[in-house]
Amino acid sequence: MLLSRTCFGTDKEYCKMLVDAGYDAVDINDTSHKPEIFLQSTDQQFAFVKNAVDNILSVGLKIGQCHAPHSISLWCSTPDEVEQRIVAIENCVKTVSKLNIPYTVIHPFVFAFNKQDEDPEKLWQFNVDYIRRICKCATNTTICLENMPGEGGVIRTGDDMAKMLSDVGDDNLMVCLDTGHLISQNCKATDFFAAVGDRVKTLHIHDSIPGQDLHLLAGEGRFDWEDFKNALRQYNYHGNINSESNFVYKSPKDLQLEGQILERKILEKFLIK
Ligand SMILES: [Zn+2]
């Protein structure tokens, strides 16, 4: 089990700070909010992800996961924009497959954060088809599907996740459990693991409160962390402990290292020895 920290802007300086803070690995997140990169030439896409990979490896850290470009809300997107985003996600997965990155995290497409689609069955089938397309591109990385926050989240609970895994029907499709998204839905980790425990391969650890997606430090919100610890043990989770809080981004620059150390100490409680 490695302690892994999400990273927007994987430059060498940031990676060195993670070494000093005692982390083992980095989760590449530069890719999640730069979909335009994955509509450029294959060489440009490769150079972008390779640069992040090289920076991480050069300081002796490992790579935990890579986040594919975010999906977009359907209520405010044209069919062309949606198709273009699926292509960007496919291209990201193809690029990641060339770089020995073990896991790539994807989101389902939602209608809107806080509103369900008027035709939920049609949206569900759209997601089944989209996820099958993405899985086909993953030749050398494992796709992990993430649970979502909000009323319109499509995959909101462990039962939703179990149904999606079964409908997609690809044995290689795995799960990224996002703890902040789970408390946003007022759900508990043990219930989520009871539904899909053997398929959870990566985590996004952060805290929030029901109805919100705040990316707080574990313990600052309402998530039941004792229940989470029990679930990791009970279901024999041995993947990485991946942090996705925004805590350090809110600290003053000269205290960022101390912030990273504090967060690492909190994450260490979840390591199974
Ligand atoms: Zn997440």
Q: What is the pLDDT of residue 45?
A: 98
Instruction: Read off the amino acid at residue 49.
Output: V
- Cβ–Cβ under 8 Å, residues 243 and 216: no
Q: What is the structure's pLDDT at 99?
A: 97
User: What's the average pLDDT block by block, 10 residues per block, for the chain (273 residues)?
Assistant: 91 94 96 96 98 96 97 96 98 97 98 92 98 98 98 97 98 97 98 97 97 95 97 96 91 92 95 82
Other beta carbons within 10 angstroms of residue 224's beta carbon come to 16
Phi, psi of 56 (to 5 degrees): -65, -50
Q: Tell me which residues have their CB within 5 A of the ion that is ligand 1.
A: 178, 204
**54, 140, 150, 175 from 225: Cα distances, Å:** 34, 33, 21, 19
Q: Hey, what domains does the chain have and what are their CATH numbers?
A: 3-268 (3.20.20.150)
Per-residue confidence (pLDDT) for residue 96, from 0 to 100: 97
Measured distance CA(95)–CA(90) in Å, rounded? 9
CA distance 197 to 154: 19
pLDDT score for 35: 97
Question: 203 CA distance to ligand 1 centroid (A)?
Answer: 8
Q: How far is the CA of 208 from the centre of ligand 1 (A)?
A: 12
**Rounded distance from Cα 223 to ligand 1 centre (Å):** 15
Residue with tokens 């319109």, as numbered in its chain: 152
CA distance 272 to 232: 8
Are 180 and 149 contacting, i.e. CB atoms less than 8 angstroms apart? yes
**Cα dihedral sign, 261-32-133-189:** positive
Amino acid at 109: F
pLDDT at 9: 81
Integer angstrom CA distances of residue 73 from 81, 141, 174:
10, 26, 23
**Looking at residue 249, what is its pLDDT?**
85
Distance 119 CA to ligand 1 centre (A): 26
The CA 6 to ligand 1 mean position distance, Å, reads 10
Cα dihedral sign, 126-105-95-39: positive
Q: How far apart are the first and last CA of the chain?
A: 9
Ligand 1 centroid–CA 244 distance in Å is 7
What is d(CA 96, CA 10) in angstroms, rounded to the nearest whole number? 15
